[in-house]
Amino acid sequence: MNIISVDLPWGKNTKGRTAIAITDLRGNLRIERANNDNELLELIRKKAEPGSIILLDIPIEGCNKLNDKHFRPVDSALQHCGISLLPSSNGERGKGLKEELERRNKRIAVYEIYPYAIYKFLACLKEKSALGLLNRLTTERVLNEEFEKSKKGWPPRYKRAAGEERQQAIRFLYSLLTDPAIRLSGLDRPGSLSLARLGDEYDACLGAIVGLYWVKRSKYACLAGKPEEGEILLLADQWLQTELEKKEIQVRNNEKRG
């Protein structure tokens, strides 16, 4: 099996801005590109293996229940925990992609991801020299209420910044993705592509990381939310998982089956 993580642009036909990170269970990575959703669906059909998980950076479920609201329950809870999000207003695109992926590919699982949530969590662990904890069999309380209060410029912005600030953020993200504790290999180095393309690629890689920990049944990898209201695959320590549960968000790990 492999893990296929997709960073989608907002528009369906934004040429070349769909980045796909494909990794095996050892973290050996390759990057593909698609010009539109049809190309993406065909590429995944060719690359997916039995048991593969597909990760989509787009709201999948719950958008039809928003009515006059802009955020699903899981979105609101994450905001209260210090993770900013854009409104879940992308209609039925994500749900449609999931249904078509499942129709074309047998024995796969499709999950929603949010790269910024993974990025902020990993950045805070790196700041505490605690990335190695991700490889333990149990979760620990690493974060605290300070996670809810974003310091100015933290974590470094690699998309909503310009010039040297953006370049420094890309370099920081690269160092995070290639940290020995994570063991992801095969990334393009900063300077090898435009900052916009690197940002897309690294977003897809962030999804690949949470996918790897989910497959390895790490207690830090969890699904937050209800399937019918929208759920997101996250990395979270004891503190963050507990905070989500306090806000009546269901949190579940990948327990061994059979």
E strand residue ranges, 52-118? 53-56, 109-112
**What's the rounded Cα separation, in Å, for the pair 244 and 250?**
8
> What pTM does this model have?
0.93
Contact 18, 58 (CB under 8 A): no
Q: Which of 77-91, 96-110, 134-148, 223-237 has the lowest mean pLDDT?
A: 77-91
Model confidence at 162, pLDDT cuts 50, 70, 90, reads: confident
195 falls within a domain: yes
Q: Which two tokens stand for residue 69?
A: 């609201």
Q: What is the pLDDT of residue 89?
A: 67
Q: What pairing do the DSSP bridges indicate for beta strands 251-252 and 29-34?
A: unpaired
172 falls within a domain: yes
Domain with 241, as residue range(s), is: 3-252
**What's the rounded Cα separation, in Å, for the pair 242 and 240?**
5
133 falls within a domain: yes
257 falls within a domain: no
| Number of folded domains that form the chain | 1
Model confidence at 14, pLDDT cuts 50, 70, 90, reads: low
Q: How far apart are the first and last CA of the chain?
A: 18
114 falls within a domain: yes
258 falls within a domain: no
Model confidence at 108, pLDDT cuts 50, 70, 90, reads: very high
23 falls within a domain: yes
